[in-house]
Chains A and B, each alone.
Chain A
């Protein structure tokens, strides 16, 4: 069985602070995918990143960075110099390597990030 744990239910920081959202996963599969999605107040989730289990390189995209550590089964997400527009609920997700589409995609419960001006 797959499981994704986002222990931080809600985080509140002041604008321009750095913030890290934690994600810990469990899977018996040796190959898998990990994801982050953002849900702004408008409601629709937006895909941010996909990482496959073969690739443990960290990734940076502008103010966003992701730290994948297979040894600790973690895929943490850091926002540098946070902005009010980053306020949203962020979901981490795990997917079996086999199967196309969103087959076997498991979401965490989400972290509500509040950026105060």
Chain B
């Protein structure tokens, strides 16, 4: 089945550690996105990539880094510079065409807790 796979589903980290969240898609989508979800805050865009080897900062990129070496993969690293990393992280993908604008396909998310 086509879809987006995020791992791990739950992750615990000590302060000062970097962690990397995995996101893989087999939908053949060009564009991929990382969102952060906090209670009562909705979804906020961290980074996005419209094509391999290219990515752009979203609204809250500070303390995060990404790479896009393959079309299928868009890992997110939460660095120790991120002040409040405890959150639910959602990866999504979409086509870049105008045929289905705004239609995102999401993974089931990764919940990161900093101890």
Contacts and interface: CB of A to CB of B under 8 A. Distances in A.
A109 B96 CA distance: 25
A95 B101 contact: yes
Interface string B74-108: 00000000000000101010111110111111111
Given A101-B94, A101-B96, A47 B42 contact: no
B106 A44 contact: yes
Contact of A44 (B50, B94, B100, B108): B108
Contacts of B106: 44-46
Interface residues of A, number: 24
B11 interface: no
B73 to A, nearest CB: 17
A98 to B, nearest CB: 9
A45 B95 CA distance: 16
Nearest to B40: A109
Contacts of B108: 42-44
Contact of B107 (A35, A44, A50, A102): A44
A109 B95 contact: no
A89 B112 CA distance: 20
Interface string A79-113: 00000000000010101010111100101111000
A9 interface: yes
Contact of B33 (A100, A102, A108, A110): A102
Contact of B103 (A43, A44, A50): A50
A35 B95 CA distance: 16
A88 to B, nearest CB: 13
A42 to B, nearest CB: 6
Contacts of A37: 104
25 contacts: A9-B40, A37-B104, A43-B88, A43-B90, A43-B108, A44-B106, A44-B107, A45-B92, A46-B106, A47-B103, A50-B100, A50-B103, A91-B42, A99-B101, A100-B96, A100-B98, A100-B101, A101-B30, A101-B50, A102-B102, A102-B103, A107-B42, A107-B44, A108-B42, A109-B41
